[in-house]
């Protein structure tokens, strides 16, 4: 029956995966609208249980992914080319980086570049006074009074005091921990696995293909279809969280610029407009729409970064970039294994920040992973890992150093000006625009920033629709445009429906769902590492694992022996 429906609709996909995923996503949306309180209660309870009892697994898992990627890049498998021996990259390094950045966490950097450092500056993770800060934020008083009371707050010996110099360093360190090597490890691991099994074994771009060393041809059976259906659902909902954040930020920017009301109706209109742009982009294909938008977007983001650098405290920020790099490197190893274990029995700060980030990120790792694999054919494993980990992370370090240090410097000079609206009032979405009020031509720069967010939003939406179509069909060559349009529209519909149903509460409920859905993705990721190594050991001849210089010497020796006369 599903095959017949596929033919009637003119699709070219795996009907079991396509229709199962679409049905379950729509059923969840309808259920969330009709039974919002019940769904929220169930997922909140399960989410809290996961964070309390299995949060350590999330921390250990992402650190394990990073160590595995560094090992495989430095090992002899690093010379293996993702494709045939003569394959070469389809995109230049600059274009490749722009597409990586735009489809990865570009929109997230715009949202959290100011908001996260200023939150940690006012409420340091190592302060042990989170409840006191939350109580102060909920009390009445001016932003200046709030800043004064934070600065006078007593803390335990050895703990970090809010608004202190140590709090500033730790704020940057934690922001880079959340959006640096660990986040890109979550993206890189599935991307490498997708690229290997697609280009070396010729398997379709589906999550089930990664399990070929374990399941064999059973990846085409019921078990493989279940894996792919779960991956589609998790990916779409993971992207929906980003869509929600982007919508809130665009709405806040329009409110600052034109006094547009911050409301569900406006946010739905924003989603409708951006989804229309994404649909047009995805219909034009990867090499036109997404590539063109990505190149424009990275240029605009760099322009905004340079504007903050040269119109702000330039020398202070240049020194801050270098110092922040050292802070990140010094905190990287301790944070990679920090589990907020003390005081005993108090999960504390990490459950609501790091664990949520990792769970959220890994749910849309298949989306970013397949997209990165799709644009990375022809690169060696070493080039792939170092490029995917190196370039975006380096940009993130510079971004958070400049935006984070600038926001902290503004708060030091004008107490309450940023932590008032962002921390005291909890208006995280408006953090960037409040920040830009302290720079020249604030209205123009706010409008410029809104445009950047819209384009980031569009590239994420059209990339997601392209990747979800790959997950359901396994095909990358000439799939019907209507399929990609369907997923682009469905993604926008999911976000719009949730906002229309319960507004901000729907996004909070979705965050709970993502934390729960992230758990099976972590288990899948551990299996990815095992399957990838098993496949490499079986598929790659010993000679191909040699370095290019060693292969050249071996080839010369082989030719020399062939040229020698046969012994009598």
Lowest-confidence segment of 58-72, 87-101, 405-419, 425-439 by average pLDDT: 87-101
Domain 16-124+161-540 is found in CATH 1.20.1740: yes
The pLDDT of residue 70 is: 96
pLDDT of residue 294: 67
More confident position, 103 or 237: 237
How high is the pLDDT of residue 501?
Answer: 61
Binning pLDDT at 50, 70 and 90, where does residue 447 land?
very high
pLDDT of the residue at 289? 53
pLDDT surpasses 80 at 517: no
Predicted local distance difference test score (pLDDT) of residue 178:
93
pLDDT surpassing 70 at residue 403: yes
Q: Which residues contact 242 (CB under 8 A, 6 or more apart)?
A: 107, 108, 364, 460
**Has residue 477 got a pLDDT over 60?**
no
Give the tokens for residue 529: 């590492």
Neighbour-count burial of 537, counting CB atoms closer than 10 A to its CB (0-12 exposed, 13-18 middle, 19+ buried): exposed
pLDDT for 345 = 46
Identify the pLDDT of residue 184.
92
Highest mean pLDDT out of 3-17, 370-384, 510-524, 535-549: 370-384
Residue-level pLDDT at 426: 82
Q: What is the mean pLDDT of residues 479-508?
A: 72
Query: Greater confidence, 170 or 555?
Result: 170
Q: With 60 as the cut, is the pLDDT of residue 506 above it?
A: no
On whether the CB atoms of residues 225 and 16 are closer than 8 A, the answer is yes
Q: Average of pLDDT values for 255-272?
A: 86
**Residue 382: pLDDT band by 50, 70, 90 thresholds?**
very high
The segment with the largest mean pLDDT, out of 92-96, 232-236, 449-453, is 449-453
Helix (H, G, I), strand (E, B) or coil at 353: coil
pLDDT above 70 for 530: yes
Task: Please tell me which residue, 272 or 332, carries the higher pLDDT value.
Answer: 332
User: Is residue 47 over pLDDT 90?
Assistant: no
The residue-averaged pLDDT of 418-433 equals: 89
Residue 497 has pLDDT above 50, yes or no: yes
Can you give the pLDDT at residue 494? 80
- pLDDT band for position 509 (50/70/90)? low
Average pLDDT estimate for 150-170: 87
Q: What is the dihedral of CA 465, 469, 470, 476, to 10 degrees?
A: -90
Is residue 515 a contact partner of residue 54, using CB atoms and an 8 Å limit?
no
pLDDT of amino acid 118: 95
- How would you class 473 by CB atoms within 10 Å of its CB: exposed for 0-12, middle for 13-18, buried for 19 or more? buried
| Structure tokens that stand for 517 in this block | 């859905």
Query: What is the sign, positive or negative, of the torsion defined by CA atoms of 534, 524, 360, 488?
Result: positive
Higher per-residue confidence, 372 vs 241? 372
Average pLDDT over residues 305-328: 95
Residue pLDDT, tens place only, 193-220: 999 999 988 898 888 999 999 999 889 8
User: Confidence band (pLDDT; 50, 70, 90) for 553?
Assistant: confident
Q: Domain ranges for the chain, please list them.
A: 16-124+161-540
Q: Please state the rounded mean pLDDT for residues 13-41.
A: 81
Question: What pLDDT sits at residue 332?
Answer: 95
Comparing 5-14, 302-311, 344-353, 453-462, which segment has the lowest mean pLDDT?
344-353
Is the pLDDT assigned to residue 320 strictly greater than 90? Answer: yes
74-91 mean pLDDT: 85
Task: Say which DSSP state 209 is in.
Answer: G
- CA 339 to chain centroid, in Å, comes to 21
pLDDT, the chain, mean: 83
The CB density around residue 334, as the number of other CB atoms within 10 Å, is 10
What is the predicted pLDDT for the residue at 284?
67
Between 100 and 415, name the one with better pLDDT: 415
pLDDT over 80 (residue 568) = no
d(CA 244, CA 250): 10
pLDDT at 412: 92
Block residue for tokens 């922040």: 324
């Amino acid at each position: 029956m599903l095959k017949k429906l596929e033919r009637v609709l003119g699709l070219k996909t795996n009907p079991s995966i396509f229709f199962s995923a679409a049905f379950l996503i729509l059923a969840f949306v309808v259920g969330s609208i009709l039974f919002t309180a019940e769904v929220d209660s169930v997922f909140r309870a399960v989410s809290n249980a996961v964070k309390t009892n299995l949060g350590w697994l999330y921390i250990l898992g992402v650190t394990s992914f990073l160590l595995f990627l560094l090992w495989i890049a430095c090992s002899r498998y690093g010379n293996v080319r993702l494709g045939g021996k003569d394959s070469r990259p389809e995109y230049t390094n600059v274009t490749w980086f722009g597409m990586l950045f735009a489809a990865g966490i570009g929109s997230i950097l715009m949202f959290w570049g100011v908001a996260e450092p200023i939150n940690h500056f006012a409420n340091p993770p190592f302060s042990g006074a989170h409840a006191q800060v939350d109580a102060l934020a909920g009390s009445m008083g001016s932003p200046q009074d709030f800043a004064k009371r934070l600065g006078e707050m007593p803390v335990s010996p050895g703990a970090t005091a809010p608004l202190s110099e140590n709090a500033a360093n730790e704020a940057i360190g934690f922001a880079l921990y959340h959006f640096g090597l660990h986040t890109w490890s979550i993206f890189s691991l599935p991307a490498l696995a997708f690229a290997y099994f697609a280009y070396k074994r010729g398997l379709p771009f589906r999550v089930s293909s990664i399990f070929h060393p374990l399941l064999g041809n059973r990846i085409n059976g019921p078990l493989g279809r279940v894996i792919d259906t779960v991956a589609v659902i998790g990916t779409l909902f993971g992207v929906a969280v980003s869509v929600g954040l982007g919508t809130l930020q665009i709405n806040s920017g329009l409110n600052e610029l034109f006094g547009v009301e911050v409301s569900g109706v406006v946010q739905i209109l924003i989603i409708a407009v951006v989804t229309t742009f994404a649909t047009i982009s995805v219909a034009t294909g990867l090499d036109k729409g997404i590539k063109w938008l990505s190149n424009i977007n990275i240029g605009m983001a760099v322009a905004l970064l340079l504007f903050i650098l040269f119109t702000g405290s330039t020398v202070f920020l240049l020194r801050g970039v270098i110092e922040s790099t050292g802070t990140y490197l010094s905190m990287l190893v301790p944070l990679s294994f920090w589990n907020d274990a003390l005081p005993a029995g108090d999960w504390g700060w990490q459950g609501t920040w790091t664990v949520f980030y990792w769970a959220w990120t890994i749910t849309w790792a298949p989306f970013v992973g397949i997209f990165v694999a799709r644009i990375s054919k022809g690169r060696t494993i070493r080039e792939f890992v170092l490029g995917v980990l190196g370039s975006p992370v380096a940009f993130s370090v510079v971004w958070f150093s400049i935006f984070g240090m600038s926001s902290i410097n503004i708060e030091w000079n004008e107490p309450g000006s940023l932590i008032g609206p962002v921390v005291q009032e909890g208006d995280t979405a408006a953090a960037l625009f409040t920040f830009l009020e302290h720079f020249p031509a604030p209205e123009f720069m706010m409008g410029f920033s809104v445009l950047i967010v819209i384009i980031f939003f569009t590239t994420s939406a059209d990339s997601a629709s392209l990747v979800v179509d790959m997950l359901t069909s396994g095909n990358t060559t000439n799939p019907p445009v209507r399929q990609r349009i369907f997923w682009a529209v469905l993604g926008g519909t999911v976000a719009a429906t949730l906002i229309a149903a319960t507004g901000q509460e729907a996004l909070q409920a979705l965050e709970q769902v993502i934390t729960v859905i992230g758990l099976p993705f972590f288990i899948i990721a551990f299996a990815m590492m095992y399957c990838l190594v098993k496949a490499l050991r079986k598929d790659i001849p010993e000679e191909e694992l040699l370095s290019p210089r060693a292969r050249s010497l071996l080839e010369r020796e082989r030719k020399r022996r062939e040229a020698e006369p046969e012994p009598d």
